[in-house]
Amino acid sequence: MLKTRTLATVLLGAGLAFTIVPVASAADANSLAEKCGECHGKDGNSSNPKVPNIAGYSTKYIEDALMDYKEGERPGLKFKKEDGTETDMVEIAKKLSEEDIKTIADYYSRQTFKSHAAEQETDPKLVARGEKLFKRKCKKCHTDFGTDPEDDAGILGGQWMEYLRHQFEMFASGEREMPKKMKKKFRKLKKEDYEAIIHALGSK
C-alpha cells in the first residue's frame, strides 16, 4: 500500500498533468523546438559534436537541467549559432518560463535518440577498457550502458564524444558540480580512464 505522502504526490502529479498539458499547445511546442533546434536539432539529435543529443531524455532530466542552467548552478558552453551570434545555455534558460521548460521537456522526451556511433572514430582497445571501467564505476546510475532514459541521468551511450569529453573536463576541474554519489568514484579515475570511458560510450 502506498504511504500517505507517496499517494499525495501521485495524486498531485496527476492533477498537474491535467492543468499543465492543455496550456502547452502544439504551436507552443513547435515554436520552442525551432529555437532549441538551432543547436540541438528540431528532433533533438544534434549535428554539432560540441552539442549533445537531447532526444529521448526523460522529462525530469531535461526539466532539472534547464532549471540548473536558469539558476546558474550549471555552466553553459559558449558556442556560435548559425547567424554568428554567441550564446550559452545559461543565457538561453534564463529567458524560459517554467511552462516553457515543461513544454520543452515533454517535446524532446517524445523524440527518438539517434546514436552517433557510426559517425565517430573509436579505439577498440580503449572501448574494451572503458566498458570494464563503466561497469565497475557507472552502471549503477547509468543502466544499459547509459542508454536508459528512465535513469533520469541523460543518455550517454551513443552521445557525441567531444561533448562527453568537455563534460568530463568540467567535472574534473570542479567547474561543474557532481552528484554526491558520483564524486567518490569519479575521483578515483585517472585522465586516461576518462578517455577510455568516452570511447566506450561513443561506440554505443
pLDDT digits (tens, 9 = 90+) for 17-75: 333 344 456 778 889 988 899 899 989 999 999 999 999 999 999 999 999 999 999 99
Beta bridge partners of 122: none
Phi and psi (nearest 5°) for 73?
-90, -10
For residues 178 and 184, is the Cβ–Cβ distance under 8 A?
Answer: no
The 10s digit of each residue's pLDDT in 61-72 is: 999 999 999 999
99 pLDDT higher than 50: yes
Single out the residue in 109, 126, 155 at which a domain terminates.
109
* Number of domains the chain is built from: 2
Query: Which one of 52, 85, 109 terminates a domain?
Result: 109
Apex 16 CA angle, 35 and 150, nearest 5 = 65
Beta carbons of 200 and 130 less than 8 angstroms apart: yes
- Structural domain for 149, as ranges: 117-202
Whether residue 87 sits in one domain with residue 137: no
Strands annotated E in 73-168: 79-80, 86-87
Domain assignment present for residue 50? The answer is yes
Q: Is residue 95 part of a domain?
A: yes
Q: Which of 90, 109, 128 is the last residue of a domain?
A: 109
In the numeric block, which cell numbers belong to residue 179?
A: 552528484
pTM score of the predicted model: 0.84
**Residue 130 within a domain:** yes
Q: Are 99 and 137 contained in the same domain? A: no
Same domain, 29 and 78: yes
**Listed residue (171, 114, 174) closest to 138, CA to CA:** 171
**131/190 same-domain check:** yes
Answer yes or no: is 2 within a domain: no
CATH number of the domain bearing residue 153: 1.10.760.10
C-alpha cell at 166: 568537455
The answer to whether position 102 is within a domain reads yes
> What pLDDT is stored for residue 12 in this prediction?
33
Q: Is residue 1 part of a domain?
A: no
**In a 3-state reduction of DSSP, which class is residue 98?**
helix
Stretch (H or E) spanning 79 = strand 79-80
Residues 184 and 128 in one domain: yes
For the chain, give the number of residues. Answer: 204
